[in-house]
Amino acid sequence: MAVVVLFTESYPFGGYTEPNFVGPEIAALAAEFDRVIIAPVLVRGPMAGGLPANVTVDTSLTRRPGAVDKAAALARPSLYRHLACDYAYIHTVAQLRSAVAFSAYTVHYRTKIRRLISKYGLDLRTTLFYTFWFEYQAAALAGISGARFITRAHGHDIYDSESPFLSHSWREHTLSRALACYPASDSGTAYIRADYPAHAGKVATRHLGSVAPDGVNPPALPDDSDVTLLSVARVEPEKGVLRQLGCVKHWARLYPQRRVRWIHVGDGSEMESLRRQAAEDVPANLDVELCGALPNSGVRAILGGRHVDFVVMMSRSEGGRPIALCEALSYGVPVIASGVGGVPEIIDAEVGALLSPAPVPEEFVSAADAAMPRRQAMRAAALERWRRDLDAEPLRRAFAREIRGLVP
C-alpha cells in the first residue's frame, strides 16, 4: 500500500497561505496514493471539511515542545555539531537564537515523527514523506534511517535574507538525504542550486498556480476616467504596502480628473500605520478601502464581483509565483508588480508591468500610465496565460503522479 505523509504548518487547520496551495493538492494526492496522512504542527483555525475518504489528519505534532522537550533536545550532540558547522554564518544574537531553535525543533520533531511511523505501522519502503516547507520537518526526516522524503520550498525557507537564520549545515544534511527539493519558482531553484551545488541535481522547480476562477472579472465602466486597483498582501515591511499607498496617492494627484479607488486586503504589524496614512493627505479623487484580512473566498468575491483594472504588488522578495498574482490573471486582471523572485516568470508587458524591487512613485506612475490604454488587451492575455501556465488542477495532478513514482 502506497502512503504519503504530508507535513504542513497548519493545514487543514487554517493558515495564511496553505489553504490556497495545499488544499488543491489533497485531491490529487488522494487519487494517486492509497492513503494520505496530513500532519500539521500548528492549529490556526477550524479544520477544513471535504477531505477525501482516504485522508487522515494526525494532530500528534501540534503540541509544541515544552521545557522538558527543549532540554532533551539541547542535550543531543548533533545539535552542537551543526551549530559548530554554522559558526561562520552566525553574526548576531538573534541568528544564534534562531540557529539553536531550529536545531532543537529538528531533534524534537524527529522523535515525534518516529512515533507517528510506529503509530500507523508505516512501511518505509512504500511510504513517501513530503514536507510542504524546507524547514525543520525535512531536517528531522533526514535523521530517520530509511525514510524516503521530498520537500517543497517557497520563500522564507529559501532566501537567507527573508529569515532570521537558515542553517546551512542542516540544509546541506537534509539535501544529502532527500529524494528531491521542489522550489515553487525558477529563481528559488537557482538560489538553492547555487548555495548547495553538490545537490543541484535534486533541486527542480514545480509550480503551484491557482484554482479555477468563479467567473471573469466584470468589464470596466464606459467612463475611462475611473480606475480601480486591488492589493492583496500582509501589511508587513517586506510586502511594501505603505510604499504602494504612497505611489497610488502620487498617481491620483497627477490626474485630479480621474476617480481612483485603491482596495487593500490584508492585515499585519504595519496596519495602524497604513490606516493613519490612508487618512492623511489623501487626494480628493482617491478612495481608499481597507478590507483587513479576508479568507481567499473574499478575495475571489472581489475579483469576480467588482471591476478591477490592476492588481498591484510591491514586495521586496517573493520565493514563488504569488497566489495573488496567479488569481489575478485567472480573472483576467493585469498586474503591476515589483520584479522579484518568481514574479517575472509570470508577469511581463503582455499582462502588466514589472517594477524595481523598491519602486519610487515616479516609476509606478510611468508603468501605470503605459498600461492604462492597453487594459483590454492585457485582460485577454492575462486569462490566456493562466489557462496555459497557472491552472492548479493539471499542475497538481502531474506533481502527484510524479511523486507517486518515487515509491514502489
Q: Cell numbers for 177, please give them.
A: 538525504
pLDDT at 368: 96
Range of the domain at 155: 3-209+392-404
* C-alpha dihedral sign at 114, 120, 121, 122: negative
Closest to 336 (Cα-Cα) out of 323, 355, 319: 355
Q: Cell numbers for 75, please give them.
A: 542535550
pLDDT at 245: 98
Amino acid at 340: V
**b/e map 119-145, b = 16+ CB within 10 Å:** eeebeeeebbbbbbbbbbbbbbbbbbe
Q: Which residues contact 221 (CB under 8 A, 6 or more apart)?
A: 307
The answer to whether residues 232 and 325 touch, using CB atoms and an 8 Å cutoff, is: no
The answer to the question of residue 129 being in a domain is: yes
pLDDT at 69: 66
Clarify whether residues 384 and 397 are in a common domain.
no
Please report where in the chains the cell 479576508 appears, as a residue: 294
pLDDT at 104: 86
The answer to the question of residue 42 being in a domain is: yes
Please report where in the chains the cell 537557482 appears, as a residue: 190
The answer to the question of residue 133 being in a domain is: yes
pLDDT at 222: 58
pLDDT at 227: 95
Clarify whether residues 230 and 321 are in a common domain.
yes
Helices (H), 33-178: 67-74, 77-85, 93-120, 136-142, 168-177
The answer to whether residues 240 and 354 touch, using CB atoms and an 8 Å cutoff, is: no
3-state secondary structure (DSSP) of residue 375: helix
The rounded distance, in Å, linking the Cα atoms of 106 and 65 is 11
Clarify whether residues 324 and 363 are in a common domain.
yes
The answer to the question of residue 242 being in a domain is: yes
Clarify whether residues 201 and 281 are in a common domain.
no
Clarify whether residues 48 and 188 are in a common domain.
yes
The rounded distance, in Å, linking the Cα atoms of 388 and 384 is 6
Angle at 330 between CA 53 and CA 289, to 5 degrees: 105
Q: How many domains does the chain have?
A: 2
Clarify whether residues 196 and 337 are in a common domain.
no
Q: Cell numbers for 376, please give them.
A: 483590454
pLDDT at 318: 82
The answer to the question of residue 272 being in a domain is: yes
The answer to the question of residue 220 being in a domain is: no
Give the domain CATH number at 157.
3.40.50.2000
Widest distance between CA atoms in the chain? 70
The answer to the question of residue 87 being in a domain is: yes
pLDDT at 215: 84
* Residues found in the chain: 408
Amino acid at 264: H
3-state secondary structure (DSSP) of residue 6: strand
Task: Give pairs for 193-199: CB < 8 Å, separation 24+.
Answer: 195/168, 195/171, 196/171, 196/172, 198/172, 199/172, 199/175
Residues of the chain with pLDDT under 50: none
What's the pTM value of the predicted model, to 2 decimals?
A: 0.90
Q: Which residues contact 262 (CB under 8 A, 6 or more apart)?
A: 228, 229, 231, 245, 248, 286, 287, 288, 289
Clarify whether residues 346 and 373 are in a common domain.
yes
The answer to whether residues 30 and 6 touch, using CB atoms and an 8 Å cutoff, is: no
The answer to whether residues 11 and 18 touch, using CB atoms and an 8 Å cutoff, is: yes
* C-alpha dihedral sign at 44, 107, 113, 164: positive
Clarify whether residues 89 and 164 are in a common domain.
yes
Clarify whether residues 38 and 155 are in a common domain.
yes
The answer to the question of residue 346 being in a domain is: yes
Clarify whether residues 59 and 173 are in a common domain.
yes
Clarify whether residues 194 and 53 are in a common domain.
yes
Clarify whether residues 39 and 181 are in a common domain.
yes
Backbone angles phi, psi at 78, to 5 degrees: -60, -35
